[in-house]
Amino acid sequence: MSITVHIFSKPLRYYSNNFNLALIGERDKILLQQDACYDQARFAATFNKNLYMLETCSIARGISPANLVTLIDDLSWVDLLVASDKSITW
Amino acid sequence: MSITVHIFSKPLRYYSNNFNLALIGERDKILLQQDACYDQARFAATFNKNLYMLETCSIARGISPANLVTLIDDLSWVDLLVASDKSITW
Amino acid sequence: MSQLIISLHCGPDAHDSLQCMNRFVQAALKQNHTIKCIFLYQDAVLHANQHIQLSSDELQVSSIWEQLSSQGIALKLCVTAAEKRGINTQDTGVFTVAGLAEFAMEVCKVDKWVQFR
Amino acid sequence: MSQLIISLHCGPDAHDSLQCMNRFVQAALKQNHTIKCIFLYQDAVLHANQHIQLSSDELQVSSIWEQLSSQGIALKLCVTAAEKRGINTQDTGVFTVAGLAEFAMEVCKVDKWVQFR
Amino acid sequence: MNKKILVISDAAPFDGQRIRESLDMALIFAAIDQEVSWLFTGASVLALTKGTTPSSLGIKDFFKQLKTLEIYDVDNLFVCEHALLEYELSTEQLSVDARILSFELQKSLINEHDHVVTL
Amino acid sequence: MNKKILVISDAAPFDGQRIRESLDMALIFAAIDQEVSWLFTGASVLALTKGTTPSSLGIKDFFKQLKTLEIYDVDNLFVCEHALLEYELSTEQLSVDARILSFELQKSLINEHDHVVTL
């Protein structure tokens, strides 16, 4: 199985039409950037592992990472994408 | 109570975040235009009266009106808005 | 007879919304209502980009505006929204550059405000 | 080291998305990856509108593109998307007018394609 | 003629310039002495949370203007009860004084206004 | 190098030019001899229904090109099962031959491709 990074930039509700938990592979990663950070609680309740959030985006929104959410800096963000097989910007 | 025309141009699901049946007054009207016509069944199941659909928009999409949906031409569309107190384009 | 004002909020790629608005305006004129103005806000200011090029089988977006203008309808665009999006406000064709205040004052004088998004 | 290609899909009003993309590009360069090009598609072609005017306390959208260009990154825009939206394709500043085919061929040569919407 | 204008926002805080454009619309009607109300629904309620510092992203902080709306006579701010629940927000977490409205009360709010604009 | 490209659409049929831009993207990769698949999810499945006549709105009928995709070697069309249910559509109501995929099978589809683009 290849590894896909699923990128979200808006609250989860924005994707209710076309997105479903069943699309996420066992080794896939979830990346929260921009306004998706506001909804980290719901993302964390839906995807209980491999959940990453951009530090710069979350700080600008006054958000500290919830349980299960790994904060990453910009360099680790690049590493995350380069180390995976592909990304989908939902 | 004033009369509001609630205008929809996309399938109902697009509005799940900010819209609720409780916003519609007893004498309010619902107007389906553009791509909202595709979803007339769900609109009709949600709002069981005062439901209007633009004829030109629905014909172009190969849609015939469902039960409870009143088809209107462009002149009646103008009448509908002029006869009401205000409109909201959701 | 009513006084109506229209605001358009979507860019020139939204052919269906533009046609929908145009049909409403034409029907309103037929019913002898007055269209105070059509105001372009948000992405709709991009209709004032003067180089729209579409193949001949596409909806000719600019001719719709020319027709509306020739029918005597005031076509205005929001200067702030335009500047943010890189529109050359010195070259806006049939559209008049206006402030949001001017639009707001007209809204206060009309019977109905209809938005097209 | 990886070869990356970026596509941007949102217009110049989306300051947050632009900054997000820019941060990714800067970090990728720092890690010695190659950015094959940044391709503007859909509403992103509007970044080539040459009259963006923002007050001095706003994000200066055009200086971000100038900086990226001075870093040697190829900035391309889709000609069809641009023509539909009224961009003057004779006057696109730091952006090069390209066809979708040119972009697609480059996509085939890179390791990763990252979209910013 | 004095008109009552209701602005409804539903976009996420950094979704294009939509909150900003709602702000401009609310301020301009207030500036010409109309009665303006502003309803935040959906993800737009997030624009009212404390601790937002867009300057750290290089973006202009227009959110701080939301806190000074009273000065400009936009003193009727409303938030959708459902949206607060959706994002698990309490009024203490909001940077402005706003009245919480159920959908039923939002219906009454709409009813009281002459024009309603969604941005 | 031959690449497998997956285009995912989710916009309603007349939502800007989004279906059209997906079509252009699919066709261009096919034209340069890459393997292209196209997944319709959400409201985009409505673009595949029969009886659409945009010309009656003065709009170019690019939907008819969807029926000729096979000629251009875009022969892998997929539709989301959930989206068909959402709009109460059966395959007989679709104007193209497309395989219906559960979310689980969409995961496998994503897995098989080199690049995925959402438009």
CATH number, residue D42: 3.40.1260.10
Query: Shortest Cα distance from B90 to chain E (angstroms)?
Result: 7
pLDDT band at A17 (very low <50, low <70, confident <90, very high): confident
Taking only the tens place, the pLDDT of each residue in E13-41 is 999 999 999 999 999 999 999 999 999 99
Partner residue facing F60 (CB), from C13, C14, C57: C57
Which chain C positions have a beta carbon within 8 Å of E24's beta carbon?
Answer: 80, 100
pLDDT band at F1 (very low <50, low <70, confident <90, very high): low
Per the CB < 8 A criterion, the answer to whether C16 and F59 are in contact is yes
Partner-chain contact E18 C80, CB within 8 Å? no
Compute the distance between CA of residue C55 and CA of residue A55 in angstroms, rounded to an integer.
Answer: 46
Tell me the two tokens of residue C19: 């046609």
Q: Is the pTM of this model over 0.90?
A: yes
pLDDT band at F33 (very low <50, low <70, confident <90, very high): very high
Look at residue B12 and give its three-state secondary structure. Answer: helix
Beta bridge partners of F116: F6
Sheet holding B69-72, edge to edge: B69-72, B51-54, B29-32, B4-8, B86-89
Taking only the tens place, the pLDDT of each residue in B53-76 is 999 999 999 999 999 999 999 999
Q: Which fold has domain A4-17+26-89?
A: Hypothetical Protein Ychn; Chain: A, (3.40.1260)
Give the pLDDT of residue C106. 98
pLDDT higher than 80, residue D41: yes
Nearby residues of F54 by Cβ (< 8 Å), 6 or more positions away: B60, C16, F14, F60, F61, F62, F63
Taking only the tens place, the pLDDT of each residue in D48-94 is 999 999 999 999 999 999 999 999 999 999 999 999 999 999 999 99
Tell me the two tokens of residue B38: 């595709």
Low-confidence ranges of chain E (pLDDT < 50): none
Partner-chain contact B57 F53, CB within 8 Å? no
Give the pLDDT of residue E99. 96
Give the pLDDT of residue B18. 81
Query: Shortest Cα distance from E56 to chain A (angstroms)?
Result: 6
Closest chain B residue to F13 measured between Cα atoms? B35
Extents of the domains making up chain F: 14-118
More confident residue, D7 or F75: D7
Give the pLDDT of residue E1. 64
Partner-chain contact F52 B38, CB within 8 Å? no
Query: Shortest Cα distance from A82 to chain B (angstroms)?
Result: 34
Low-confidence ranges of chain C (pLDDT < 70): none
Taking only the tens place, the pLDDT of each residue in F64-83 is 999 888 888 787 999 999 99
Give the HSE-up count for residue A72: Cα atoms under 13 Å, Cβ half-sphere.
23
Partner-chain contact D43 C83, CB within 8 Å? no
Is F95 exposed, middle or buried (CB count within 10 Å of its CB: 0-12, 13-18, 19+)? middle
The pairing of beta strand B51-54 with beta strand B29-32: parallel
Partner-chain contact D107 F5, CB within 8 Å? yes
Count of domains observed in chain C: 1
pLDDT, mean of residues A37-64 = 96
Give the pLDDT of residue E74. 81
Tell me the two tokens of residue E74: 């936009």
CATH number for the domain whose boundaries are E14-118: 3.40.1260.10
Report the C-alpha dihedral over residues F20, F23, F24, F28, rounded to 10 degrees. Answer: 180
pLDDT band at B81 (very low <50, low <70, confident <90, very high): very high
Which chain C positions have a beta carbon within 8 Å of F57's beta carbon?
Answer: 15-16, 19
